[in-house]
Amino acid sequence: MTFDEFVGARQQAFLRYATVLTGNPDLAQDIVQDVLIRVHSRWHQVESYDHPEHYVRRAIVNAYVSWRRQWSVRNLVPFASPPDRAAPEHHGSEPPELWQRMARLPPRQRAVIVLRYYEGFSDNEIAELLGCSAGTVRTHISKALAKLRADLRSHRFLEAL
């Protein structure tokens, strides 16, 4: 398969994945474009992998985490809170509040939530994509869900006041 065929077949899936991961369609396009440029220069090597799509997904996660680090260094953020970003435009039936809460998760926690619940990957597949153990993936999922639940509880408490 040529690089152009690969991109033609998978580009929309990569954009959807990056949009859910970043919460920002414009940033998602930038990240996917940067990753695909890097992959193009190494395509002869990447195409020989069992799952070149997994390689690209991992590169997208790494690029997003790297972008977040660079952003936070350039823009001093009090209390390490993430920037406010618009919710993805095409996100199914989830309420906008869920996207706002997900935007506040640390990058790796957000990545495992997206990979598990939006992409349908198993713990082992996520671990392979992120270069960590399945136990670490489960820890990230547990912490992310706990944070989302606590955020929801505090939101409901404040509404009751």
**C-alpha distance from residue 74 to each of 67, 69, 113, 133 (Å):** 10, 9, 27, 31
Superfamily of domain covering 3-160? PhyR, sigma-like (SL) domain (1.20.140.160)
Q: In terms of pTM, does the model score above 0.75? A: no
Query: What separation in angstroms does the CA of 62 have from each of 1, 55, 149?
Result: 25, 11, 26
Tokens of 57: 């997904």
So what's the pLDDT on residue 76? Answer: 43
Q: What's residue 86's pLDDT?
A: 41
- The pLDDT-based confidence of 135 (bands split at 50, 70, 90) is very high
pLDDT of res. 64 = 87
pLDDT tens, residue by residue, 19-68: 888 888 899 999 999 999 999 999 999 888 888 998 999 899 889 888 76
pLDDT tens, residue by residue, 83-111:
444 444 444 555 667 777 888 888 888 88
